[in-house]
């Protein structure tokens, strides 16, 4: 199950050693925590509770809209006052990490534990297998606890597919197929002349491009394992939608205008990374020339506008503060594209500015050298675990 390195400069041996040691420490940390922890979006739960208060509610809402990136300004002690909780997205990322490591008693044990937690944390709001965040998020009571979402479900299902060789194949594929039904039947699919969009969640009819194409990439993998040509065709149509909605400069907006929804013109590095990674995965077999061109244009835009040296940028206009989640995604995007030099620079930046030792990664790094030292299970720990294991597997196959 290892991903192999192809081409590029020789890996930095000292960096590989540091990353390998951090993978061991972080894997142990995740297991000791019972795969539970805090999350920056838990602050939205607080907002939902005070949202109707005359003074506090409007102030909190204004801060969330105006102070970007909003959560970077919140002290560590406030975040970590919330109770530790099991978050399905973290389970999926952690399981992906185990699936990319060499098979051992430890990886099997951890995969089984994660699989059990994944089954236990299914959303009670979905008829099929769907997963969501176990708290209010998205502002003033926008999404209730466990509201099942396409992106969360996709990350969980990708983890299951990455660890398929460590688990009972029939049980995993039954859960994957149920997750596909959740997306297609409960979230719904917009079948448009220019391509298809898998909606973000039940009754959410925005065309959120990054979530749709991420789900499409998962379905391309599921199509092979489930022997379902219809899923492969759906994946291809989600890619065509992204080709159609790519901006002339190579970027993608968060969501184009559709029905009653206005265009959301946000462009950021993390979601662009989701898009590029998914398009590359879908097009690996299909070799569609239009998709390949969109990938190259998107990568060129990303390199010019969303990367600042070794750092991923928050937006085309803002580098600092830098977010650990963005760094993890930048590492994975560069690896999937095949830019191993850039992946190495991102990885070195992660270790130098974010790694606090003992398996813990800081939340934010600031231009003045300060850090927000909060540690989050979904936002920093699990995605960095997956990114580091991928880095080892693709930089030096014998190191992972």
Tens digits of per-residue pLDDT, 91-141?
999 999 999 999 999 999 999 999 999 999 999 999 999 999 999 887 544
What local confidence, expressed as pLDDT, does residue 41 receive? 87
Tokens of 202: 């039940």
pLDDT at 59: 54
Tell whether 312 is covered by a domain. yes
Distance of CA 266 to the CA centre of its chain: 17
DSSP state of 95: H
Does pLDDT of 66 surpass 70? no
140-196 pLDDT, tens digit each: 448 899 999 999 999 999 999 999 999 999 999 999 999 999 999 999 999 999 999
Contact status, residue 4 vs residue 35, Cβ threshold 8 Å: no
Any domain includes 22: yes
| pTM for this model (two decimals) | 0.91
Residue at 345 is within a domain: yes
CB atoms within 10 A of CB 274: 22
Write down the pLDDT at residue 11.
Answer: 75
Looking at residue 49, its pLDDT comes to 55
Is residue 24 in a domain? yes
Its domain, for residue 360, covers 1-32+306-400
Q: Tell me if 212 is assigned to some domain.
A: no
C-alpha angle 378/383/386, rounded to 5°? 140
Residue 116 counted as domain residue = no
First to last CA, the chain: 11
Residue 295 tokens, joined: 């990938």
Q: What share of the chain is helix, strand, coil (3-state, %, to 5)?
A: 55, 10, 35
82 band by pLDDT with thresholds 50, 70 and 90: confident
Question: Does 180 fall in a domain?
Answer: no
The per-residue pLDDT for 8 is 54
Dist. CA 74–CA 89, nearest whole Å: 22
* pLDDT value at 65 more than 90: no
Residue with the two structure tokens 């030099």:
341
pLDDT mean over 262-285: 97
Instruction: Indicate whether 368 belongs to any domain.
Output: yes
**Helix or strand or coil: residue 360?**
strand
Residue 141 is predicted with a pLDDT of 47
Q: Is the pLDDT of residue 373 over 80?
A: yes
- Residue 56: is it exposed, middle or buried by C-beta count within 10 angstroms (0-12/13-18/19+)? middle
Give yes or no for residue 221 having a pLDDT over 90.
yes
What is the count of structural domains for the chain? Answer: 1
Pull the structure tokens for residue 6.
């192809």
């Amino acid at each position: 199950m290892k991903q192999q390195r192809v081409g590029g400069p020789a890996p930095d041996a000292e960096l590989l050693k540091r990353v390998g040691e951090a993978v061991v420490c972080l894997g142990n940390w995740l297991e000791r925590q019972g795969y539970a922890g805090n999350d920056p979006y838990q602050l939205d739960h607080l907002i939902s509770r005070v949202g109707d208060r005359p003074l506090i509610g409007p102030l909190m809402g204004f801060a969330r809209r105006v102070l970007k990136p909003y959560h970077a300004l919140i002290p560590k002690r406030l975040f970590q006052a919330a109770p530790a909780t099991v978050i399905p997205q973290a389970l999926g990322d952690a399981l992906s990490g185990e699936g990319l490591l060499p098979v051992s008693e430890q990886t099997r044990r951890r995969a089984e534990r994660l699989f059990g937690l994944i089954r236990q944390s299914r959303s009670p709001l979905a008829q099929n297998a769907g997963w969501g965040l176990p708290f209010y998020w998205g502002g003033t009571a926008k999404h209730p606890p466990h509201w099942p979402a396409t992106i969360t479900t996709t990350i969980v299902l990708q983890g299951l597919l990455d660890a398929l060789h460590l688990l009972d194949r029939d049980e995993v594929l039954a859960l994957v197929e149920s997750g596909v039904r959740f997306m297609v039947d409960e979230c719904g699919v917009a079948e448009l002349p220019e391509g298809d969009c898998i909606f973000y969640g039940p009754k959410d009819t925005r065309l959120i491009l990054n979530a749709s194409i991420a789900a499409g990439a998962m379905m391309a993998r599921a199509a092979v394992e489930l022997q379902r040509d219809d899923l492969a065709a759906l994946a291809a149509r989600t890619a065509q939608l992204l080709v159609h909605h790519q901006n002339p400069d190579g970027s993608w907006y968060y969501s184009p205008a559709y029905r009653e929804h206005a265009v959301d013109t946000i462009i950021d590095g993390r979601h662009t990374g989701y898009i590029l990674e998914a398009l590359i995965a879908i097009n690996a077999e299909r070799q569609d020339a239009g998709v390949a061109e969109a990938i190259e244009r998107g990568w060129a835009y990303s390199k010019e506008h969303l990367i600042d040296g070794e750092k991923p940028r928050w937006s085309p206009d803002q580098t600092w503060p830098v977010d650990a989640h963005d760094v993890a995604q930048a590492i994975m995007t560069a690896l999937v594209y095949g830019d191993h030099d850039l992946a190495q620079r991102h990885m070195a930046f992660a270790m130098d500015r974010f790694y606090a030792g003992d398996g813990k990664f800081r939340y934010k790094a600031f231009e003045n050298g300060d850090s927000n030292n909060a540690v989050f299970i979904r936002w920093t720990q699990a995605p960095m675990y997956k990114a580091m294991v991928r880095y080892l597997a693709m930089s030096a196959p014998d190191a992972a």
